Amino acid sequence: MVTYHTLEVKGLNIFYRKAGNPDKPTILLLHGFPSASHMFRDLIPVLEKDYYVIAPDYPGFGNTTSPDRKEFDYTFDHITEVIEAFVNKLELDKYALYVFDYGAPIGFRLAMHNPERVTAIISQNGNIYREGLGSKWATREEYWENPTPEKRQSYRTAFASETIKHQYIDGMRENTVSPDGYTLDITYMKRPGNDEKQLDLIFDYQTNVKMYPEFQQYLRKYQPPLLAVWGKNDVSFIPEGAKAFKKDLPDAEVHLVDSGHFALETHANEIGELMLDFLKRNHI
């Protein structure tokens, strides 16, 4: 059974989902943009019999506190700091990381800070290679290099209702994606003041790309077991990003499923079974 909790961390109420037996190995699920831990609603039941599963919402996302920008810097370093404090407060000494979208730069920061804690990494469209950046990223990099107020405002389209919907349905077979997920994300994104917070994170994403060589060095040094299972029709983080893991981890397992960015919307059972097989074969 999944249960729902909040934990006070650094003055914030961090909402999280919990399932499974705490005496079993832990999996930490890290969501992406523009979503929250609800994106794992179909995956958690596949994992909970064999693993202790924790899925938090980040500050400014889902049901976690969304502090004002004057009181909280919306950067990936800062969000990682909060999630790291959350992990420490729950006393999660060892865990496998599931990283998706924004969860990848947050999860790889966690792994670099405490490599001894990470038992394995599952990357689902969670990119750390330039090869994995789709065509839209060229425009974003031009914005990062030449930021103007006008360019910042243009990225409001990233969390417009139609954009969010298409993040879910593009690359999917017709009529296979429930509207529940994207409707909830649209609601979250429309909360007062959230637009500027999300624009801050879009601008700060450049720090993640700059850290790609450090994330890759972490992989080369520590060689964690890694499963890359990606929606092959994702136009944001393209399949080359999954295949690139083998440059640094020759034993990495790569599976491409016939879906788009939000692969769990259509392939939660398949991805869950791939995870269970991968983790058991690696004695996790």
* Count of domains for the chain: 1
3-state DSSP assignment of residue 204: helix
What is the Cα 183 distance to its own chain's centre?
19
CATH number of the domain that 30 lies in?
A: 3.40.50.1820
Which domain does 266 fall in, by range?
3-281
Token pair listed for 213? 């060589």
CA distances from 249 to 120, 175, 243 (A): 12, 37, 10
- Strands of the 12-19 sheet, one edge to the other: 3-9, 12-19, 52-56, 26-30, 95-99, 118-123, 226-231, 253-257
Read off the pLDDT of each residue in 254-264 and give the average, rounded to a whole number: 98
The 10s digit of each residue's pLDDT in 182-238 is: 999 999 999 999 999 999 999 999 999 999 999 999 999 999 999 999 999 999 999
* CA pair distance 111, 127, nearest whole angstrom: 15
Question: Per the residue annotation, which of 5, 38, 113, 261 is the catalytic one?
Answer: 261
Characterise 232 by phi-psi region: left (phi > 0), alpha (psi -120 to 50), beta (else). alpha
pTM of this prediction exceeds 0.85: yes
154 — pLDDT class (breaks 50, 70, 90): very high
Annotated catalytic, 38?
no
Task: Give percent of the chain with pLDDT exceeding 70.
Answer: 100
Give the phi and the psi of residue 77 in degrees, each rounded to 5: -60, -45
Read off the pLDDT of each residue in 19-42 and give the average, rounded to a whole number: 98
Task: Give percent of the chain with pLDDT exceeding 90.
Answer: 100
HSE-CB for 56 with a 13 A CA cutoff: 28
